[in-house]
Amino acid sequence: MMKLYKNVILLCRHEIYLKADLTIFYLSNRAGQWNMEAEDELTATAIRTYIYLIKTGKPVGPREVMRGAELTSPSVAYRNLQKLMDMNLVSKDEYGNYIVKEKVGIKGYVWLGKHLLARFILFGVIFLVVLAIEIAILLLHLLANSSVEGSFWLLTIVTIVSAVVFLAEGLKWRKSKLST
């Protein structure tokens, strides 16, 4: 039986789970048996480093990473790059530059090309599209002077509330998870 505590996350093959101060565990399947091994800590600065490497899409050095990921010093960038190399997400070329080997998912986020979008924001946008359709239907009914059922008004109100909640939570989630 596997227990996960408050500050423990799980690094699966294609997904990284984020929290503020984390210990990462690598889950591997060797000889049909699941093993869990402790890895280094993955901080928000390491995630920002990883995101910067994906967005650039070309080999970059520690100083470029420091500037692009808004880190405090090249040594912080180097330490984050070493952690990412240890996790087999980044490789180093013969010139000492780093490039992403594999783009993995980050819990709570969706990759849209080279851009990272909080899932809550994606859901909020979906609700906004549904709301636009509902408003178009309401306008058609109002222009045709036909009646609109009360349940449709209720549906529109629920859609407005859902869009606002998902967008607010998405912005809050993005700010809290990637800014620490």
Q: Are residues 128 and 159 in the same domain?
A: yes
Q: Which residue has the higher pLDDT, 173 or 126?
A: 126
The last residue of one of the domains, among 106, 121, 142, is 106
Contact 115, 25 (CB under 8 A): no
Q: How far is CA 110 from the centre of its chain?
A: 6
Contact 109, 119 (CB under 8 A): yes
pLDDT tens readout for residues 9-57: 444 444 444 443 344 444 444 454 444 443 445 678 888 899 899 999 8
**Domain-embedded: residue 158:** yes
The CA distance from 86 to 95, in Å, is 19
Q: Are residues 32 and 56 in the same domain?
A: no
Q: Are residues 122 and 170 in the same domain?
A: yes
> In this structure, what token pair is assigned to residue 131?
């709301």
CB-facing half-sphere around the CA of 114: CA atoms within 13 A: 9
Q: Are residues 12 and 62 in the same domain?
A: no
Residue 169 confidence (pLDDT): 92
With bands split at pLDDT 50, 70 and 90, how would you rate the model's confidence at 87? confident
Q: Are residues 97 and 115 in the same domain?
A: no
Q: Are residues 118 and 168 in the same domain?
A: yes
Q: Are residues 95 and 131 in the same domain?
A: no
| Residue type present at position 104 | V
Strands 109-112, 23-30: parallel, antiparallel or unpaired by DSSP?
Answer: unpaired
**Domain-embedded: residue 2:** no
Q: Are residues 168 and 121 in the same domain?
A: yes
The last residue of one of the domains, among 88, 106, 124, is 106
End-to-end CA distance of the chain: 32
Q: Are residues 18 and 55 in the same domain?
A: no
- Whether 177 shows a pLDDT value over 80: the answer reads no
Q: Are residues 100 and 113 in the same domain?
A: no
pLDDT tens readout for residues 102-143: 888 877 888 888 888 889 999 999 999 999 999 999 999 989
Mean pLDDT of 81-103: 89
Answer whether 0.85 is exceeded by the pTM: no
CATH of the domain at 93: 1.10.10.10
> In this structure, what token pair is assigned to residue 82?
């070493």
Q: Are residues 117 and 162 in the same domain?
A: yes
Domain of residue 135, residue span: 109-178
Helix (H, G, I), strand (E, B) or coil at 97: coil
